Amino acid sequence: MLKATALVKRYGPCVTAVDGVSLEIPQGQMVGVIGRSGAGKSTLLRLINRLIDPTEGQVHFDGVDVTRLKGRRLREWRAACAMIFQQFNLVGRLDVLTNVLVGRVGHRATVPTLVKQFSRSERALAAQALERLDLADQGLQRAETLSGGQQQRVAIARALVQQPRLILADEPIASLDPGNAKRVMDALRAINREDGLTVLCNLHHISTARDTCDRIIGMQDGRVVFDGPPETLTSPI
């Protein structure tokens, strides 16, 4: 269970990006967070994975107050939150397999620079993830030679090898054409279903959230203005 309690994030005296958000997300739910640009969606994800600290409020995961974690425990929490970004954030010059292994770096004391510095079981995990994402044949290609949709699926494979406790996706399909967007959302949905992983996904289009999510959270001006199953969302946010 992921729980946000009265979360507030202010940037200086004038901007309140998140303004008193309380939520409970049970394990295994796929949640679409929708709202206009500036509604506070990215800030909410960054508060959850502790990329930023809240001005007020807490985030709990399975009873642990993650807003109070420090040092090693904080690094472990960040490794437990796999992030997917709009721009994929791959290292274009490196091959796909190496990009996937980057997901293991948070689990290690030192940062390996070569594929062979990862253990055999880590490499097997990466190969298995690529197979799941239908990219088994692309492992040795440079990431920048892949299409956007393929690159985002590499990012999902990277998230999987992280063996995360939840996936936080920030506009994962905003730079993809509809065909690739559907494939990426289907991949996230399959992982959510098969692995019982909680997925929190910021989305621009309500239709995508309706098609793929168990629950929609609508944000406006840092506040939750809708929270419910997709079929109960009747008016635009």
Of residues 144-203, which lie at the interface with ligand ADP (CB under 6 A)?
Answer: 171
Q: Considering the complex, state which of residue 39 and residue 102 has its C-beta at the smaller distance from ligand ADP.
A: 39
- How far, in Å, CA of 138 to CA of 153, rounded? 11
To the nearest whole angstrom, how small is the minimum distance from the Cβ of residue 4 to ligand ADP?
14
Q: Considering the complex, state which of residue 6 and residue 15 has its C-beta at the smaller distance from ligand ADP.
A: 15
Instruction: Name the burial class of residue 130, with classes exposed (0-12), middle (13-18) and buried (19+) by CB atoms within 10 angstroms of its CB.
Output: buried
Q: Which of 29, 42, 162, 212 touches ligand ADP by CB under 6 A? A: 42
Q: Considering the complex, state which of residue 37 and residue 121 has its C-beta at the smaller distance from ligand ADP.
A: 37
Q: Choose the stretch contacting ligand ADP; rule: CB under 6 A; options: 39-47, 107-115, 117-125, 137-145.
A: 39-47
Query: Distance of alpha carbon 75 from its chain centroid, rounded?
Result: 16
- How far, in Å, CA of 25 to CA of 199, rounded? 10
To the nearest whole angstrom, how small is the minimum distance from the Cβ of residue 10 to ligand ADP?
9
- How far, in Å, CA of 142 to CA of 164, rounded? 25
Query: Backbone phi, then psi, for 5, in 5-degree steps?
Result: -125, 115
Q: Considering the complex, state which of residue 89 and residue 117 has its C-beta at the smaller distance from ligand ADP.
A: 89
Contact letters (x/-) for ligand ADP, 13-32, by CB under 6 A? --x-x---------------
Q: Which residues of 170-204 are buried (b: 16+ CB within 10 A; e: fewer)?
A: bbbbebbeeebbbbbbebbbebbeeeebbbbbbbb
Q: What is the contact surface with ligand ADP in residues (CB under 6 A)?
A: 11, 15, 17, 35, 37-43, 171
